[in-house]
């Protein structure tokens, strides 16, 4: 009988310590933000960079990735022959679970949520863009162009617009 009480008390102590030493938002919502990216047409290149220019994800649409909530992001979607689309993923308030630290997480929980970024709510969760056909930006001519891409000798991606004739 004494042995069961000791086990239960130990289990209770471990569970209590987990809650006290962890942030509520970190426990319940995590420190990463799930981001889904779609485009029309599909198979467009996606680059997710933080606002301080660190690349967190590269892929093609449709795509799904997790990014740390402590940053804000710029998502660029590009496809040959179309204008690039850019969407910002920004901090949009505080996760509701953060306030649970006032009840059980205490100062340690608050610090954990702040350091991990779990305090932040990012928006949007899903990005869907319809890409627009590219045109010659110098002349604002909206005739149809083929967009060619190639890497130069230094490894930089170059673009060339070739006008197409209508038949």
Residue 58 has pLDDT above 60, yes or no: yes
Mean pLDDT in residue range 103-131: 80
Residue 25 has pLDDT above 50, yes or no: no
Backbone CA torsion sign across 135, 139, 142, 145: negative
Q: pLDDT higher for 3 or 74?
A: 74
Please, what are the domains in the chain? 2-133 (2.60.40), 134-167 (no CATH)
Query: Mean pLDDT of all residues in the chain?
Result: 79
Give the best-scoring range by mean pLDDT among 19-33, 54-68, 87-101, 108-122. 54-68
Residue-by-residue DSSP string for the chain: -HHHHHHHHHHHHHHHHHHHHS-HHHHHT-SEEEEEEEEESSS-EEEEEETTS-EEEEEESSEEEEEETTS-EEEEEE-TTB--EEEEEEEEEE-GGGGGGGTTTHHHHHHHHHHHSTTEEEE-SEEEEE--B--BTTTTB-S-EEEEEEE-TTS-EEEEEEE----
Q: For residue 146, what are the β-bridge partners?
A: 162
Mention every residue, 6+ apart, whose C-beta is less than 8 A from residue 51: 71, 72, 73, 74
Q: pLDDT higher for 106 or 112?
A: 112
Q: pLDDT higher for 3 or 121?
A: 121
């Amino acid at each position: 009988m004494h042995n069961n009480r000791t086990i239960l008390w130990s289990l209770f102590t471990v569970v209590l310590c987990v809650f006290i030493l962890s942030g509520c938002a970190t426990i319940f919502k995590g420190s990463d933000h799930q981001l889904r990216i779609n485009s029309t047409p599909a198979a467009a290149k996606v680059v997710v960079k933080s606002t301080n220019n660190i690349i967190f994800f590269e892929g093609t649409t449709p795509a799904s990735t997790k990014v740390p909530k402590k940053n804000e992001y710029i998502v660029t979607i590009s496809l040959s022959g179309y204008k690039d689309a850019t969407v910002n993923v920004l901090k949009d308030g505080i996760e509701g679970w953060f306030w649970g630290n006032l009840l059980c997480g205490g100062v340690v929980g608050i610090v954990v949520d702040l350091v991990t970024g779990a305090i932040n709510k990012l928006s949007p969760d899903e990005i869907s863009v319809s890409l627009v056909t590219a045109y010659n930006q110098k002349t604002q001519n909206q005739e149809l162009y083929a967009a060619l891409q190639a890497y130069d000798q230094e490894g930089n991606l170059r673009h060339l617009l070739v006008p197409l004739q209508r038949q």
